[in-house]
Amino acid sequence: MSGTRPLLEVRNLRVAYGGIQAVRGIDLTVGAGELVCLIGANGAGKSSTLKAIAGLLPVTRESVRFDGEPVGGMRAFELVRRGLSLVPEGRGVFPQLSVGENLAMGAYVRTDRESIAADLARVFELLPRLRERRNQSAGTLSGGEQQMLAIARALMSRPRLLLLDEPSMGLAPLVVARIFEIVVEVARQGVTILVVEQNARLALQVCHSGYVLESGAVSLHGAAAALLDNDAVRRAYLGE
Ligand code: ATP
């Protein structure tokens, strides 16, 4: 939104499930290096928007541009290969596989073995708890650790854009705070991030800008500080 080059441009994005219009023509832009949130009530269409961008739901080609190229409707693995990764709601780690094996799965689109090893070392530096548990099966991790693993696994694909769907889901406040510290650190290291979050206050406190979704449409967008100050946002999403 600021002066940076747009990395993600969404124009008139529509998602329907049979007769239900879940996303009704959304426009949004995420600049390279930005940390942007998408907030809104249950059922507003946040997850559908992320899934559509990530190639998991059918959309028109021109409705999603990644780094200037139309990629709408491209398959998810092709988008991962181009540098666009989704961390899904509910994390989606493979519970029977070890932490190390889950991380190896994250790099499946890559063939550059040496830099994969270097990235693994970087991920373990960011999340030392995962290093300690690298041989443990993912299903035995705590909820917070599983969320860390899901983020780490996505980082192993070397994303330029990371889409995060409700990273705070089901986690205790202290754990949520830690997860958001990690999100901020990942952004600081240069990964552009679009995060869907129920906890609007926390999201707006850490993000540069935000979009508010209502019934499948953008009702407001702007700098996060301005949204935190907006009366309608405060009443509807910050419980004031
Ligand atoms: P939440 O925070 O509860 O996940 P959300 O803002 O992410 O909500 P979506 O999950 O995108 O919202 O849902 C938007 C609308 O689409 C809702 O009305 C929902 O019931 C509907 N919907 C979502 N997934 C499907 C599906 N697979 N089939 C039919 N309808 C769906």
Tell me the two tokens of residue 110. 């890559």
Question: Is position 102 within any domain?
Answer: yes
Banded pLDDT at 50 (limits 50, 70, 90):
very high
* Residue nearest atom 30 in ligand 1 by C-alpha distance: 17
End-to-end CA distance of the chain: 27
Atom nearest to 40 CA in ligand 1: 6
The tens digit of pLDDT for each residue in 161-176 reads 999 999 999 999 999 9
Atom nearest to 17 CA in ligand 1: 29
1 class by beta-carbon count within 10 Å (0-12 exposed, 13-18 middle, 19+ buried): middle
Q: Which of 38, 46, 219 to mutate to test the pocket of ligand 1 (most atoms within 8 A of CB)?
A: 46
C-beta of 133 in contact with ligand 1 (< 6 A): no
Tell me the two tokens of residue 151. 């983020």
The confidence score (pLDDT) of residue 106 equals: 85
Check: CB of residue 66 under 8 Å from CB of residue 8.
yes
Question: Is position 1 within any domain?
Answer: no
C-beta of 19 in contact with ligand 1 (< 6 A): no
C-beta of 192 in contact with ligand 1 (< 6 A): no
3-state helix, strand, coil in the chain (%, to 5): 40, 25, 35
* pLDDT above 60 (res 66): yes
C-beta of 44 in contact with ligand 1 (< 6 A): yes
The confidence score (pLDDT) of residue 92 equals: 84
CA angle 160, 166, 170 (to 5 degrees): 140
Closest to 138 measured CA to CA, from 124, 151, 149: 149
* pLDDT above 50 (res 1): no
Question: Is position 164 within any domain?
Answer: yes
The confidence score (pLDDT) of residue 154 equals: 95
The tens digit of pLDDT for each residue in 196-227 reads 998 999 999 999 999 999 999 999 999 999 99
DSSP string spanning 145-166?
Answer: HHHHHHHHHHHTT--SEEEEE-
Distance 161 CA to ligand 1 centre (A): 23
Atom nearest to 23 CA in ligand 1: 14
Q: If DSSP codes are grouped into helix, strand and coil, which group holds residue 224?
A: helix
Q: Which residue range(s) make up the domain with 213?
A: 6-237
The confidence score (pLDDT) of residue 238 equals: 87
Q: What one-letter code names the amino acid at 93?
A: V
Distance 23 CA to ligand 1 centre (A): 9
C-beta of 174 in contact with ligand 1 (< 6 A): no
The tens digit of pLDDT for each residue in 75-115 reads 999 999 999 999 998 878 999 999 999 999 888 777 787 88
Distance 48 CA to ligand 1 centre (A): 6
In 10 A of CB 238, how many CB atoms? 15
The tens digit of pLDDT for each residue in 28-44 reads 999 999 999 999 999 99
**For residue 25, what is the domain's CATH number?**
3.40.50.300
Check: CB of residue 99 under 8 Å from CB of residue 158.
no
pTM of the shown model: 0.94
The tens digit of pLDDT for each residue in 136-152 reads 999 999 999 999 999 99
Q: Which of 24, 47, 219 to mutate to test the pocket of ligand 1 (most atoms within 8 A of CB)?
A: 47
Question: Is position 12 within any domain?
Answer: yes
Number of domains in the chain: 1
